[in-house]
Amino acid sequence: MDRVNSMKEALQNGLYLDNLSKMISTSMQMAKDSANPLPFYVLASVFADIYEDWEDRALTVEEANRLENKILQHLNDVMDSMIRGDQAFQTHEKLSTLLKAFFS
């Protein structure tokens, strides 16, 4: 869980391209290494979607803050669930909430 902890720490730095890039790599690596790859793969996909949307364009602070306000807490909830070692269905519920917020 060390890498989940370090990813959660990275998340506290906020969402911006350099940080997203690191979190995509970490999540993908953890998806490959983990016995339960689904949460990591979902996180990597969310980070990659944000990266793709923000890359190569003028991103205002207001827009970045808007997305952070929408999903940051849910991202933290998913990671906390993994750190606690919740059962898979509990983590999946958190993931589902994250995705609903992300797509809203």
Partner 1 sequence: MTGNDAVAIAKILLQTKAVVFELDNPYTYVSGMRSPIYCDNRSILSYPEERRAIVDMFCSMLSRMSFDIIVGTATAGIPWATLIADRFSKPLAYVRSEKKKRGMGKQIEGAPVAGMNAIVIEDLISTGGSSFKAVEALREEGLLTDHIAAIFTYDLPQSHQTFKEGNCNVIALTSFPILVKTASEMRYLSKEQVEIVEHWNRDPFGWGPKFGFPNAKPGW
Residues of this chain that bind partner 1 (CB under 8 A): 12-19, 56-62, 64
Nearest by Cα to 22 from 38, 37, 39, 8: 8
CB nearer to partner 1: give 56 or 89.
Answer: 56
| Structure-block tokens of residue 71 | 């999903």
**Minimum distance between the CB of residue 91 and partner 1, rounded to whole angstroms?**
27
Q: Count CB neighbours of 92 within 10 A.
A: 17
CB nearer to partner 1: give 62 or 89.
Answer: 62
Listed in sequence order, the residues at least 6 apart from 28 whose beta carbon sits closer than 8 Å to its beta carbon are: 40, 41, 44
**Minimum distance between the CB of residue 78 and partner 1, rounded to whole angstroms?**
20
CB nearer to partner 1: give 60 or 104.
Answer: 60
**Minimum distance between the CB of residue 48 and partner 1, rounded to whole angstroms?**
12
